[in-house]
Amino acid sequence: TAEDMAFGYGKIILTGEHSVVHGTHAVAAPITLTMKAKVWAADKDVQLIIPRWGVEQTLKFGEDHEYSIYKSLEMILDRLELRDRGMNIEVVPEVPRAMGMGGSAALAVAIIRALDRHFQIGLSDNEVRELSYESENIVHGGASGIDNTVSTYGNLLMFQKGTPPEMETLNLEEPIPIVIGLSGVESMTAKMVRRVREEYEQQPDWYGEIFHKMDKLALESKEAIEEFDLKRLGRIMNLNHGYLNALNVSSPEVEELISIARENGALGAKLTGGGGGGAMIALCDSESSQQKIQHQMHSAGYDALITSIKPSVSKEV
Ligand code: PMV
């Protein structure tokens, strides 16, 4: 059953995607959607089963895999010294694929935790975070580590990349109402990260200044969250989106969703995740505002989810 499955959280980034790859702070939160996984013994071979995606495949080690998920799984089994064990790995994916909600990191965390549970390895959260970071770098090279960190700990946190990264759990008085608008267009995280890097190399002064401003916004968003000043947080998110536009990582659908959110009373709205498609988030001041925005997004033909950022479940990071 789903209850006895291990899981990794999906996430939204409130401030600092892309700039975080270049060393700035960023603030991200887990969402209630997770990737779930379960391992059970088999005589031989490693079989990956994802019924919802129609995947049922025996892993062949060392082959050129079509999907990076197999490469990542191979690496994980290698690191945990499990590649000679027979097993079935079943995954229940709730996080939409390629929507800028950290699905790949959540998948890695879920599989690592399921392996840890089945083979009683006794991994610490820190080890889960490190291993899922390696997986992220296989899936899209040059990852900052923010996705897999939030996915591992499940806390609202401020993050700065490094070895180990700087991670600070943020205190929150009460839940923050959010609407996630889905563009329906696959997010292209790897491509967007590459594009930003190339432009940065061409125009280091301008990009350096933009990243610096994005860093300031992320630091200020932490203050706004801890003071529960949602109006200020909304303004910060709007500014952050302006800088993401300067980096050219948005898309027409995401822009339309942002307009819908702002016209219907959102305190702030921005792209979340890698962009080039994917998702946006709208910060709301009430449940009725969430419902109105969701309704308008549906009317325009988009999927939209009502969710909230919750006070952290544990203090540990
Ligand atoms: O698109 P996602 O959910 O994988 O988020 C990517 C966030 C980036 O800042 C663009 C990349 C990264 O590794 O931090």
Domain ranges of the chain: 2-169, 176-309
Q: What is the pLDDT of residue 312?
A: 73
Domains 2-169 and 176-309 share a fold: no
**Ligand 1, residues 12, 20, 69, 250: which to mutate, most atoms within 8 A of Cβ?**
20
**Ligand 1, residues 11, 12, 15, 18: which to mutate, most atoms within 8 A of Cβ?**
18
Predicted ipTM of the assembly: 0.97
Q: What is the pTM of this model?
A: 0.95
| Assigned token pair, 127 | 């080890």
Q: What is the pLDDT of residue 60?
A: 85
Phi (first) and psi of residue 208, to 5 degrees:
-60, -40
List the catalytic residues. Answer: 147
115-122: long-range contacts, CB 8 A cutoff, minimum separation 24: 115/39, 115/76, 115/77, 115/80, 115/82, 115/89, 116/6, 116/80, 117/6, 117/39, 118/39, 118/40, 118/41, 118/87, 119/39, 119/80, 119/82, 119/85, 121/80
In angstroms, the CA 90 to CA 107 distance is 11
Cα torsion 227, 231, 236, 239 to 10°: value is -170
Give me the CATH code for the 2-169 domain, please: 3.30.230.10
Nearest CA to ligand 1 atom 14: 144
- Reference 305, options 180, 176, 187, 177; nearest CA is 180
- C-alpha 21 – ligand 1 centre gap (Å): 8
Q: What is the pLDDT of residue 65?
A: 67
- In whole angstroms, how far apart are CA 239 and each of 100, 138, 212, 228, 273? 19, 32, 13, 18, 16
Hey, what CATH class is 176-309 in? alpha beta
- pLDDT tens series, the chain, 317 aa: 666 899 999 999 999 999 999 999 999 999 999 999 999 999 999 999 999 989 898 998 887 766 678 889 999 999 999 999 999 999 999 998 889 999 999 999 999 999 999 999 999 999 999 999 999 998 887 899 999 999 999 999 999 999 999 999 998 989 999 999 999 999 989 999 999 999 999 999 999 999 999 999 999 999 999 999 999 999 999 999 999 999 999 999 999 999 999 999 999 999 999 999 999 999 999 999 999 999 999 999 999 999 999 987 654 55
